Amino acid sequence: MYQFNVYRIGPEIKIGEIDLSFTNASLFMVISSLAVLIIFNLGSKKSSLIPNRIQLLAELSYTFVSKMISDTAGSKAKPYFSFIFSLFMFVLFCNMFGMIPYAFTVTSHIIVTFVLAAFIFIGVTVIGFIKHGFGYLKLFVPSGVPVVLLPLIVVIEVISYLSRPVSLSVRLFANMMAGHTMMKVFGGFVISLGVVGGWLPLGFSVALTGLEILVAFLQAYVFAILTCIYLNDALNLHH
């Protein structure tokens, strides 16, 4: 579990009682965000009719995210495009950088994913109330439900709504942590079984690396698309 340890890099920074030191987690957040900025800045610099590779990458990502948003949340979600794009790219790059050996996986910490999820939850709720006023509470009352069942349904809906940030954050955090732990365990098997029996877990480790890269992308995608779905609930009240 050493790979999940957070330790201070450089001097201790304290504001009052709160420790805001620069840590390895902070380092990888900085690296991820700078990587995103560098890649997309390079990708947007030149505007040629036939894009070069990095421009193509940037434009494909752009259209990918914008299509994802318009498919799930409709055209009303356009103002939130840059936030969801940043979110997707940040989570994706943090996940991907975590796949580099000896790197730190920012998203394998519940506090990070929870802060992101809580921010999304609060933001979506605020947007919902701004758009629909108290009508937004109709979200908890699905149409076409027998009156007898209504109290139960409303309670369930409220609980499911409130558990959104938890499920959103725990999904990402648990996926990343479990994947990395599994790889660590198989890596441990390789060492402990030695030259004789280590080949099988080594093969597993290689396969798991591929799987984890897939999961890293998939979880970033799921995180972003769930944000879109929540946003869709807030923007287009269907119930």
Partner 1 sequence: MFLKFSQITFFYFLLLSQVNGAESGGMPQLNPEFWFSQIFWLIITFGFMFVVLSKLVLPKISENLETRKAQISENIESAEKQRLESENKIKEYDKLILESKNEAKNYFNQAREKILKDVDKKRENLEKEINEEISKAEKEIEDLKNKSPDKVRKIAIETSSDLIKQVIGVDVNNSSISAIVEDISRKRN
Give dist(CA 43, CA 30) in Å, integer. 20
What are 18's two structure tokens? Answer: 């709160």
Range in contact with partner 1 (rule: CB under 8 A) among 43-51, 150-158, 160-168, 211-219: 43-51
What are 9's two structure tokens? Answer: 């890099």
Please identify, using beta-carbon distances, which residue of 111 and 152 lies nearer to partner 1. 111
- For residue 29, the minimal CB distance to partner 1 (Å) is 4
Q: Do the strands 14-15 and 18-19 form a parallel or antiparallel pair, or are they unpaired?
A: antiparallel
Q: Is 32 in the site for partner 1 (CB under 8 A)?
A: yes
Give dist(CA 188, CA 210) in Å, integer. 18
Q: Is 105 in the site for partner 1 (CB under 8 A)?
A: no
Q: In sequence order, what DSSP letters do the residues of 63-99 get, joined into one string?
A: HHHHHHHHHHH-GGGGGGHHHHHHHHHHHHHHHHHHT
Q: Tell which positions 186-205 bind partner 1, by CB under 8 A.
A: 188-189, 192-193, 196-197
Q: Which of 11, 47, 134, 195 binds partner 1 (CB under 8 A)?
A: 47
Q: Is 167 in the site for partner 1 (CB under 8 A)?
A: no
Q: Is 178 in the site for partner 1 (CB under 8 A)?
A: no
Q: Which of 95, 108, 205, 232 binds partner 1 (CB under 8 A)?
A: 108
Please identify, using beta-carbon distances, which residue of 75 and 143 lies nearer to partner 1. 75
**Is the alpha carbon torsion for 133, 134, 140, 146 positive or negative?**
negative
Give dist(CA 104, CA 99) in Å, integer. 8
- For residue 211, the minimal CB distance to partner 1 (Å) is 22
Give dist(CA 45, CA 65) in Å, integer. 20
Q: Is 1 in the site for partner 1 (CB under 8 A)?
A: yes
- For residue 40, the minimal CB distance to partner 1 (Å) is 5
Q: How many CA atoms lie within 13 A of 220 on its CB side?
A: 25
Amino acid at 216: A
Give dist(CA 40, CA 100) in Å, integer. 21
The residue ranges that bind partner 1 (CB under 8 A) are 1-2, 4-6, 8, 18-23, 25-26, 29-30, 32-33, 36-37, 40-41, 43-45, 47, 49, 51, 55, 58-59, 62-63, 81-83, 85-86, 89-90, 106, 108-112, 115-116, 173, 177, 188-189, 192-193, 196-197
